Homo-oligomer: A and B are copies of this chain.
Amino acid sequence: MKTYLDCIPCFFKQALDTTRIMTSDEVKIKKVLDEIGIMIKNLSLNSSPPEIGRLIYDKISEITGNPDPFKEIKNIYTDAALKLYPYLKQVVIQSEDRLFMAIKLAIIGNIIDFGAKSSLIKSPHELDIEKEVKETVKKGFNLFSYKKFKNYVLSSSDILYIGDNAGETVFDRILIEELEKPVIYVVRGKPVINDATYEDAVRAGIDKVATILSSGVDAPGTILARCSKEFRKKYDNAQLVISKGQGNYETLSEEKKPIFYLLKAKCPVIAKEMEVEVGDMVLREANGV
């Protein structure tokens, strides 16, 4: 997906909110915005938003001197989600269609996103995950592609599952357990916002249900040109790819592969691209699948 003009004000907003978590030094924060300002001129709208996000988050780390500002908050979210794990499991067990319910929960997990909803960063405890799950699970989902997805799961010998945020990982684990196929769970190559790294996936217990693989990418998405050879090989041969969240969608939306995007559409640009409303919970396949 290309970057829209609408993404540009949003880059500044995200950078501002993220940098404020890391420092209260207004001079440093202004410096971040100055540097992003200078970048804009050289940004191609043909890049995907995570390609630009990578440059922005690199700049923030450079200026603040903190390469992993969300480490602690990521742990808080993962631990909160883990406490909820038995409840989530019960919800799945008691549902009429376990796979269908597990997909819904995996999408609900995508609410834990600091990039798109930076207010979460400021007050992690404001997100009452249990309440959110209980309310959201009753809402309508746009699981356009459920039947097709189910068929792909049944016919694939293994599945590549590209994760998104720490904490959401626990919800992914619930879905992985229902897939009943060998799963490779893909994490970012280094910390970026609250995206899940290897360490975060292990904390969520993903290692108990899947093989964890780093994409090698240092961006909030899966920029194929920057992925490791090992990941590319797995990706190229994958019979089924599950792509979680906006950042992965933004970088993989034009791929011609059996990819299924699971996400909550959090911004007008994504909603428009996917032909849904902002806030919609979506399961949709790649074009041509």
Residues of A near any B CB (own CB < 8 A): 5-6, 8-10, 12-13, 16, 26, 29-30, 33-34, 36-41, 45
Contacts and interface: CB of A to CB of B under 8 A. Distances in A.
- Binding site secondary structure of chain A: helix
Contact of A40 (B5, B10, B26, B34): B34
A26 B39 CA distance: 18
A29 B7 CA distance: 13
A132 to B, nearest CB: 24
Contacts of A36: 37, 40
Given A26-B45, A41-B38, A45-B26, A33 B5 contact: yes
Contacts of A37: 36-41
Nearest to A26: B5
A5 B5 CA distance: 21
B12 A30 contact: no
A238 to B, nearest CB: 35
Contacts of A13: 9
27 contacts: A5-B16, A5-B26, A5-B29, A5-B30, A5-B33, A6-B16, A8-B12, A8-B16, A8-B33, A9-B9, A9-B10, A9-B12, A9-B13, A9-B16, A12-B12, A26-B45, A30-B45, A33-B40, A34-B40, A34-B41, A36-B40, A37-B37, A37-B39, A37-B40, A37-B41, A38-B38, A38-B41
